[in-house]
Amino acid sequence: MLRKYFALILFVAFVASVSSCKKASMAKSETEHEAINRVELIFKQGGNTVATIVAEDPDGDGGNPPSKIDAINLQANQTYNVEVKFFNIINGSTKDVTSTIQQQAKEHEIYFILSGLNFPIEKKDFDANGFPLGLISQWKTGNASAQGSVLLKLMHKPLVKGPNDDPSKGHSDIAVNFPLKVN
């Protein structure tokens, strides 16, 4: 008789743990968004678009390398307002997922990591907690010509985002290394 009760308790504990896992995975899926396979950086000065830089990776992470990564060419001693847009392109249909990322701002942050160059890039938009997002930024090029690259990383940070996070905190939704030249 004692074995039957013990078996019943183990069965109830197993069922409870399985159902709690399903709830956790359902909650996680609510914060997911479509895969990102196109990124656009829109550079503006005085409200006018001066360049739209594109990176595309049709098969997404893994598989083949990106099919297109435009080079960024900027002028020295200039200020650029930059808007980032993210898209999912599948079967000829394009879906802008930027608004989803903006709605989930408390779980995302965009990083711009310069290599071979040194000038300030300031994020101008914030989530509901006042933490940086990065869909809108301002780039102030210095007075020296230089070339290198800028790594754009969209980090997904559910429940771990802070005000001054390291770019490795969370997991990457997409990372693109753009060639960058300042003349």
pLDDT digits (tens, 9 = 90+) for 86-95: 999 988 899 9
Q: Are residues 56 and 11 in the same domain?
A: no
Count, residues in the chain: 183
Q: Which residues pair with residue 172 across a beta bridge?
A: 155
Report the mean per-residue pLDDT for the chain.
85
Q: Write out pLDDT tens, residues 118-166.
A: 999 999 999 999 999 999 999 999 898 999 999 999 999 999 999 989 9
pLDDT band at 14 (very low <50, low <70, confident <90, very high): very low
Identify which of 95, 119, 118 has the alpha carbon closest to the alpha carbon of residue 33.
Answer: 95
Residues 47 and 20 in one domain: no
Selection from 153, 156, 155 nearest residue 177 by Cα: 153
**pLDDT given for residue 32 in this prediction:** 59
Domain tally, the chain: 2
Do both 61 and 105 map to the same domain? yes
One-character DSSP codes across 165-183: --TTSSEEEEEEEEEEEE-
Claim to verify: residue 47 and residue 125 sit in the same structural domain: yes
Residue 19 has pLDDT above 70, yes or no: no
Q: Which residue has the tokens 């989930």?
A: 104
pLDDT at 95: 95
> Residue type for 145, please?
S
- Pick the closest to residue 132 from 158, 107, 109 (CA basis): 109
Higher per-residue confidence, 29 vs 100 = 100
40 and 22 in a common domain: no
Among the ranges 58-62, 69-73, 169-173, which has the highest mean pLDDT value? 69-73
Q: Residue 136: in which H helix or E strand, if any?
A: strand 136-140
Element (H, E) at 34: none
Tell whether 13 and 72 lie within a shared domain: no
Higher pLDDT, 107 or 13: 107
User: What's the whole-model pTM score?
Assistant: 0.81
Instruction: State which amino acid sits at residue 58.
Output: P
Domain that holds residue 24: 1-30
- Indicate whether 138 and 127 sit together in one domain: yes
Model confidence band, residue 7 (pLDDT cutoffs 50, 70, 90) = very low
Residue linked to tokens 């753009």: 178
Residue 134, phi-psi category: left (phi > 0), alpha (psi -120 to 50), beta (remainder): left
